[in-house]
Amino acid sequence: MKMDRVQNGTLNVEQVRADFPVLQREVRPGVPLVYLDSAATSQKPLEVIQAMDAYYRSSNANIHRGIHTLAEEATYLYEEARSKVAAFIGAASPKQVIYTRNCTEAINLVAYTWGRKFLQAGDVIILTEMEHHANLVPWQILAEERGVQLEFIPVTADGMLDLEAYKKLLEKEPKLVAFAHMSNVLGTINPAKEIIRLAHQAGALALVDAAQSVPHMPVNVQDLDADFLAFSAHKMCGPTGIGALYGRKEILEAMPVFMGGGDMIKKVHLRSFTPNELPYKFEAGTPAIAEAVGFGAAVDYLKKIGIEAIGAHEHQIVAYALERLEEVPGLKVLGPSADNRGGVVAFSFGVAHPHDISQILDSEGIAIRAGHHCAMPLHDKFHLAATARASFYLYNTHQEVDRLVEGLYKVREIFGS
């Protein structure tokens, strides 16, 4: 695959697009799909679809419990996928990778287990003003329940984190710093390694919401020195319904169980139980087995393409998009320059509401996102109720950016912006 899809470090995008069946469809007769909503969920290559189909056709069984052929095959596929995911993020051991439903559940797992065991009234958690609700609401619940204090790293006018303000907040001796590696609205790529280094220097643990970074750039948990890192399969060419939490082994072992039931136990008596070893102590009940198989296939696909090549391609696309969008009168892009940005561009456009923008673009076959993107406080920061958002991935082209701009001129014509 790598030979025909990557040449001299550059993606052959037409070859890549051929791997994704949905990209071949027309939204309406004569109107081909332009999919610019990968920050919400990515499309799936045929390899992932076929891997899940093959599992259901030939190896479907419950895992860990049976000793018959199908159960052993299913268990092997499930655990092989975990090993692939662990290697993809540079984890020292697959036992440090917990399967969850998504990035949201992964963060909630930390809040409900580590947070409730180790935090008490008055303890400080540092977040940022650009967080997705998934890395905000779980800590708000904990703050209300336990009296934990939340502090926030400010976002500057150009969409960057104010690191000097962060250093001041660290004087409060926080127990945890939790932050997005890349903003799903601003596209800002935060200096994760430096944020974590400073957190550790202050005696805090660090949790990274990597939902928007793992699919698009090299992420190595050991190089970052992260204590926790959470992400989802569906944003990285994998299926919905499965994600992962990475954690340091000694921290995960010290945490209480998340949910009770089958497979998360070693022994159960009428009045007590003994939890299972890692990672199974956090994986109660029958898991998303087919989805894990798809997760592993997605990792295989991204590795064959090359995450560095994917990141380089997205950088070119977003730089071109920022250049073209600047031409459109009345359009205002949020966030930093292309040098500090991933493949996300959120914008406001005169009097046109983002929902109207999205609907008009959809009539042209162009799929974007409209709303607050599960980041209402960040929109409040910029005095906006909502934005329109185009997001890019390995299968997007310069021509699709041109179609986006053409569609926005149609919006301008309709609204007289």
CB 106 within 8 A of CB 320: no
Residue 146 predicted with pLDDT over 60: yes
> What gap in Å lies between CA 253 and CA 276, rounded to an integer?
10
- State the DSSP code for 225: T
Number of Cβ atoms within 10 Å of the Cβ of 138: 20
- Residue 360 corresponds to which amino acid? I
User: Which of these, 40, 39, 20, 27, lies nearest to 407 by C-alpha position?
Assistant: 27
pLDDT band at 2 (very low <50, low <70, confident <90, very high): very low
pLDDT band at 99 (very low <50, low <70, confident <90, very high): very high
Tokens of 101: 């439903």
pLDDT of residue 111: 98
Residue 3 predicted with pLDDT over 70: no
pLDDT of residue 8: 76
Mean pLDDT of the chain: 96
Tell me how far the alpha carbon of residue 262 is from its chain's centroid: 28
User: Which of these, 347, 329, 325, 324, lies nearest to 416 by C-alpha position?
Assistant: 329
Q: What are the C-alpha distances in Å from 368 to residues 44, 137, 272?
A: 17, 25, 51
CATH topology of domain 50-303: Aspartate Aminotransferase; domain 2 (3.40.640)
CATH topology of domain 2-45+307-415: Aspartate Aminotransferase, domain 1 (3.90.1150)
pLDDT, tens only, 9-63: 789 999 999 999 999 999 999 999 999 999 999 999 999 999 999 999 999 999 9
Tokens of 347: 């914008």
Q: Please list, in sequence order, all residues whose beta carbon lies within 8 angstroms of the beta carbon of residue 366, skipping any fewer than 6 positions away.
A: 34, 36, 400, 403, 404, 407
Specify whether 374 is catalytic: yes
- State the DSSP code for 280: G
Catalytic residue, chosen from 141, 265, 374, 376, is 374
Max Cα separation, the chain?
Answer: 71
pLDDT of residue 50: 98
pLDDT of residue 303: 97
What are the residue boundaries of the structural domains of the chain, listed by start? 2-45+307-415, 50-303
User: Which of these, 91, 81, 117, lies nearest to 230 by C-alpha position?
Assistant: 91
> What gap in Å lies between CA 252 and CA 35, rounded to an integer?
38
Question: For 351-371, what is the mean pLDDT?
Answer: 95
Question: For 260-277, what is the mean pLDDT?
Answer: 93
pLDDT of residue 417: 57
